[in-house]
Structure 1
Amino acid sequence: MHADPIDLARRLVQRRFPDALAVVLAGSTAAGRATASSDLDIAVLVGDGGETCRETLRFEGRLVELFIHTPTGLGELFAADVASRRAVLQSMYATGLVLLDTGGEAGRARSRAEADLRNGPPALEPETVENKRYSLTDALDDLADAGDPVERLAVAGVVLNVAADLLFDHHRAWVGGGKWLPRRLLEADVECGGALLEGHRHLCETGDPALMIEAAERVLDIVGGPLREGYRRTWRGASEPVAARNAG
């Protein structure tokens, strides 16, 4: 019989962090989607004399992801998550199961996390949106022309990610990667996001890109249309961030 994941999380925290200020169990366990092999995502708030870090370990046979932070570190991580438009830690504190709340620390962190989530991520700069429009237009041209099935799948991944990012920005919605991309894409726009995901699934299963091209072109129309002729960028030197040079 597998140990109860909540009890296991409590035992781990009591052993490793007896002086913790707050502990939140997040991820699939808190959401009720956990399986016997799911890892445990645990946010641990420690005093300012502690260390802000991330650690992966195995405890009583269960894989555990620890997100450890001081109050100062938590504020910095919240700010970094807003800047990256991901809000990973905010989601953990806003939706997780509170296992420990010393002096209301978990409640205060949750309130701040919920405020960040309500405010939404910062909008992309207009030039970044234009770069992404150009990148998506180019990728769609490649997708339509791709004859090699492996190349077609690779380009489809680019189309999905760039189109999703443009749609996230249009709705001022939090972005996601991996399994969180489809989840957050459907939260942001169930119609257009769903069409993108269905087009990608259809292409992967059949090799036919038509549905995906149609869905991505619809996203392009929402954010200003395809961009080919007239696109121009000036090289700004080695100090220019790579992400700005390759906005796709």
Structure 2
Amino acid sequence: MKNYFPYCDGALLAGSVVRGKATKTSDLDMVVFDKTYSSSYRESVIKYDWPIEVFAHNLNSYYKRARPSLPRMISEGIILKDNGVIDSIKCEAKELLSKGPEKWSIEIINTKRYFITDTLDDFIGCNNRAEGIFIANTLAELVSEFVLRTNNRWIGASKWIIRSLRDYDTNFAEQFVEVFDIFYKSDAKNEVIKLVDEILHP
């Protein structure tokens, strides 16, 4: 770190390695804070045979998306360097995680319902297996986002979709996986349709 960011105000090591859940393909996530940076950036480096993903920020370039990846990394991160800025940044990250994302307005909820309904109609009417797979993917992403955001929960991308759903409700998360798994394995749509209808009903 000294070679790459010698003048930074603080740095944290985060990610799956810190959580004790590293795999053979895991990298090291490093969050760097430097008040001289005009904007945030991200880069990948390799050092000591480790792939390292660097998330560099000034002291004000914070997170407004509904994905909690950065505040989560900050809150759980191990301090590598601190010039007196890390405590307040960690407190802010933990507060943000606890508070949840900005609440959706009725207008946004109705718009999201429209997109889900439109995609569900495409899913129901699709007779092409290849197209159906990608429609199902879109439907799963839209529905997971809708459930989480209307319940004031953080969303995720990729593997964090199911992790976020489990944080919200483990039973629902398993049901969600099961109905889409049934479709992917057998082309049976009924369980997906039933679940989406139940979600949209309220």
Q: Report the TM-score, using the length of structure 1 for normalisation.
A: 0.75
CA distance in 1, matches of 2:79, 2:48: 21
1:85-113 deviations in whole A, cap 9, x for unaligned?
A: 1122111111222222232x222111000
CA distance in 2, matches of 1:145, 1:153: 13
Identity %: 25
For structure 2, the 5+ residue unaligned runs are: none
Q: What aligned pairs does 1:1-248 form with structure 2 within 5 A after superposition?
A: 13-46=1-34, 48-51=35-38, 52-71=40-59, 75-78=60-63, 80=64, 84-103=65-84, 105-221=85-201, 224=202
1:204-241 deviations in whole A, cap 9, x for unaligned?
A: 122212222222222112xx3xxxxxxxxxxxxxxxxx
Count of aligned residue pairs for this structure pair: 201
SS at match of 1:33: coil
Amino acid across the alignment from 2:52:
V
What's the Cα RMSD here?
Answer: 1.6
Whether the 8 Å contact between 2:8 and 2:32 is mirrored in structure 1 is yes
Q: Report the TM-score, using the length of structure 2 for normalisation.
A: 0.91
CA distance in 2, matches of 1:62, 1:110: 25
CA distance in 2, matches of 1:49, 1:147: 56
SS at match of 1:138: helix
Whether the 8 Å contact between 1:192 and 1:215 is mirrored in structure 2 is no
Amino acid across the alignment from 1:65:
E
For structure 1, the 5+ residue unaligned runs are: 1-12, 225-248
